[in-house]
Amino acid sequence: MQILSFQDLIEQCKKNNKAVFEIAQIYEAELQETDVDNIRLKVNENLIAMKDAIKNGLKSTEKSISNWCGDDCAKLQKKFKQKGTLFGKIFEKITTYALATAEENLRMGIIVACPTAGSCGIVPSVIIAVAEEKHIPERKQIDALITAGMIGLIVSNKVQLAGAVAGCQAECGVASAMVAGALTQMLGGNVDEVVQAVSLAMKNILGLTCDPVCGLVEVPCIKRNAFLAIHAVTAAELALCGVESKIPADEIVDTLKITGQMMSPLLKETAKGGLSQTKTALKLEEQLLNK
């Protein structure tokens, strides 16, 4: 079996009458020369690590070395506790879980890079928050993570998932697409709907720059995790009701690659352009260097 594109994935699922995660776990087992049970065991270990990162992040207010970040999740939890949220419990959990995980990363806590450390809060926040509120069993959460991994693998066949190569569209953007497809499957979507969710999420983050202030994975990276987690849910909701992307997923991946190539090096993790060169960012950098 060879799966290098989303079209390959669709064809394999339909040919074998299997869900995305079923094809993905067989494919991964072949690549690693092991069996499906071992693949699922490893994914379960990642799921446990994700849940631990959320748990630790929710209760910590330890600031980063820069002192810029580390307590935003606590602020959000306090707000939700006192005043609630416009969008309900799932929104509350997704946003706090995303921030909790991203803040654990800046504290050098244990996280799962999915697909990168800077985007580590997007996939787990959506899968775990929805699973908790919808009472979705662990088995289906593992299925969802396997689906997310397959999506990331397909994109990585054409584009390196690194802000230094293609901007944040290749990090937080791809993470959002990964969990959009994973959530769609977890909520009962078929392979066509999964791929549509990927397409809808990915095409709406094309051109997203990687412009970390002072080169740290903090500003704007951490808050971006919360925003793009919700972005993924929107894509899944649209796909599950039959909304389709007019541009196929594989062509969107091609466009993401081309966009990354056209993007100025100043906007690809060099901290030489974008938000990192605003007056406030430069002042923060000076303060940090003189600290």
pLDDT surpasses 80 at 106: yes
Mean pLDDT of the 118-144 span: 98
Helix (H, G, I), strand (E, B) or coil at 217: coil
pLDDT digits over 133-192, tens only?
999 999 999 999 999 999 999 999 999 999 999 999 999 999 999 999 999 999 999 999
- Quick one: CA torsion of 180, 184, 186, 188, rounded to 10 degrees? 180
Residue 127 tokens read as: 């899968």
Residue 215: pLDDT band with limits 50, 70, 90: very high
Q: Long-range contacts for 250-254 (Cβ within 8 Å, ≥24 apart)?
A: 250/5, 250/6, 250/7, 252/199, 252/202, 252/203, 252/206, 253/5, 253/6, 253/154, 253/155, 253/158, 253/159, 253/202, 254/158
* CB 94, CB 129: distance < 8 Å: yes
Q: How many residues does the chain have?
A: 291
CA atoms of 190 and 268, how far apart (whole Å): 35
Strand partners for 210 = 268
pLDDT tier for residue 65 given thresholds of 50, 70 and 90: confident
Average pLDDT, the chain: 97
CA 168 to chain centre: 11
From residue 37, alpha-carbon distances to 34, 40, 49, 137 in Å are 8, 5, 19, 17
Residue-range domains of the chain with CATH: 6-289 (1.10.4100)
**Residue 131 has what pLDDT?**
98
pLDDT of residue 5: 98
Contact between 29 and 36 under an 8 Å Cβ cutoff? The reply is yes
